[in-house]
Amino acid sequence: MQEDLAIRIKRLKYRSWHRGTKELDLVIGNFAEKNLDQMTVAEIDQFEAIIEEDEFDIYNWLTRKDPIPMEHQNAVMDRLLSFELVERGD
C-alpha cells in the first residue's frame, strides 16, 4: 500500500509539472514538490481532483478571476491559493 502511494505521488508530481501552460506548471509543480509528501491520502485525493480540471479553470481560480466550485473548496485549495513561489528571507 505504501509503495502504491509513493508511485501515485510521483505520478502526481510529474503531472503537476506538465499541465500545458508554463505559468500553471510553475505554481502547481512547485506546490506539489513542496506539499505532496506531507499530505494525507484524503488531501492527495483533493489535489488530484483539482489538477484533473481544465488548466484555464484552475488558472482563473488561482488568480481569483472565477469563483472556486463547491467541490474544490477545501483545505488543499486554500493552501494552493496562499502558496508563494518565492521564499522570503525575512
Q: What is the pLDDT of residues 23-76, one digit of tens each?
A: 999 999 999 999 999 999 999 999 999 999 999 999 999 999 999 999 999 999
Q: Name the grid cell of 69.
A: 466550485
Burial degree of 51 (CB within 10 A; 0-12, 13-18, 19+): middle
Q: Is the pLDDT of residue 19 over 90?
A: no
Containing 66, the helix (H) or strand (E) segment is none
Q: Is the pLDDT of residue 86 over 80?
A: no
* Nearest Cα residue to 39 out of 12, 69, 60, 72: 12
Residue spans of the domains in the chain: they are 2-82
Given the candidates 3.30.56.10, 3.60.70.12, 1.10.10.10, 1.10.150.250, the CATH classification of the domain at 2-82 is 1.10.150.250
pTM of the model: 0.89
